[in-house]
Amino acid sequence: MAARREQAVRAAVEQGLLGPDQPVVGLLDVAGIRAAAAELRAAFEEVVTPGTPVLHAFAVKAAALVPVLRLLADEGLGCEVASPGELALARAAGVTPDRIVLDSPAKTPEELREALDLGIALNADNPQELDRLGALVGDRADPPAPLGLRINPQVGGGSIDAMSTATATSKFGVALQDPGAREWVVRTFAERPWLTRLHAHVGSQGCPLELMAAGIRVAYELAEEINGAVGRQQIDALDIGGGLPVNFASDEITPGYREYAQLLRTTVPGLFDGRYKLVTEFGRSLLAKSGLVLARVEYAKSAGGRLIAVTHAGAQLATRTVFAPEAWPLRVTAYDAEGRPKAGGSSDGQVPQDIAGPCCFAGDLVARDRPLPELAAGDLVGLLDTGAYYFSNHFAYNSLPRPGIYGFDATGSTGDEVRFATVRKPQTVDEIVIESGAAHALGLSRLR
């Protein structure tokens, strides 16, 4: 991984993907993405009963980029979508409706109708949404799409409050431990034979695997209770979500999918005995390690004795890192202007410095007092582990453009050949002006 990354940085400079006119770029390691997808498939193949249908649906929000979705589809994955836009991206990537799952806490009637018409599986979030679905399904015992209900097992949160989806007051799903909720869910399935799935998404960054497995066990036990109450296997599929956390401290991939799958087999053995189809919704863990933001140092300065490298990668890309650095720290690497790893400085080659972004507020820092080789104008910094969310959640502060994103293959037989493919072209200033209402420039002035 590290060797491919170093090759790609040097090649990006040599091939002109990065320079004074394009001072920031996103890179994706295609081999790394393929390897992560293969690891996910293999991990669950080892624990399920042979022949059990398993759909690994990539959480599109983690990388809302059509070429990425297409690559993952080629690797056998589907898509989990949470908006009309994400659904459109999945379809543009050629993902078929039977391999798409719609999850969102705020689906409109039109979104529900479209999913049913297309045959896309969806998970209802709450009783009101179930009523809407019921009106659309009518008397059909066999609706055109698999329909499920999301439950919140309320097993607790992890170390990042904003990423914890199974707390007592989470906004997602039916809060199963609230008074009367469990009985209502069992009764609801008995009254709606077209409901055939349960969904629970417990994990995300900061959540331990044991907490995730505990939540899935709650969902499994509820499915068993419902099927027992109705006297048949009405629930035939369990959507266990995703949320495998990522190690942002090193290149080591830990925890891994095998570790999680084995823990699930120990904690919820009946999940894999062949009676239930399985759906997963992993996102960050499939892409994070394969991404790199590469940015040019525009200026090197100091303030109050602190060295500051002013770069072109800040809150517009690393939004979570800038606003919540304790929860979302990033590793930073230093390169010279030609893309070679940089050395120098004190006896150990490093000096503390701030890595600042281009946004006009004082807190736009992706790293504070970070020991690095001393950076100079024209050098490059790399923000590692940024393959998920950092490329698809652009923060348009100061009307900064979205950078170009390129996938790379550094696995050539000679070891020094790097090929690039465009994932998304750099956004132009003209495009920013257009999307900012230029066609309606006089609209407000004409109001009286």
Catalytic annotation on 79? no
- What's the rounded Cα separation, in Å, for the pair 125 and 104? 7
C-beta separation of 272 from 52 below 8 A: yes
Question: 270-280: buried (b, 16+ CB within 10 Å) or exposed (e) per residue?
Answer: ebbeebbbbbb
Q: Classify residue 227 as exposed, middle or buried by CB count within 10 Å of its CB (0-12, 13-18, 19+).
A: middle
Q: 79, 207, 359, 360: which is the annotated catalytic residue?
A: 360
Neighbours of 41 (CB within 10 A): 16
3-state secondary structure the chain: CHHHHHHHHHHHHHCCCCECCECEEEEEEHHHHHHHHHHHHHHHHCCCCCCCCEEEEEEHHHCCCHHHHHHHHHCCCEEEECCHHHHHHHHHCCCCHHHEEEECCCCCHHHHHHHHHHCCEEEECCHHHHHHHHHHHCCCCCCCCCEEEEEECCCCCCCCHHHCCCCCCCCCCEECCCCCHHHHHHHHHHHCCCEEEEECCCCCCCCCHHHHHHHHHHHHHHHHHHHHHHCCCCCCEEECCCCCCCCCCCCCCCCCHHHHHHHHHHHCHHHHCCCCEEEECCCHHHHHHHEEEEEEEEEEEEECCEEEEEECCCCCCCHHHHHCCCCCCCCEEEECCCCCECCCCCCCCCEEEEEECCCCCCCCEEEEEEEECCCCCCCEEEEECCCCCCCCCCCCHHHCCCCEEEEEECCCCCCCCCEEEEEECCCCHHHHHHHCCHHHCCCCCCCC
What positions carry a catalytic annotation?
360
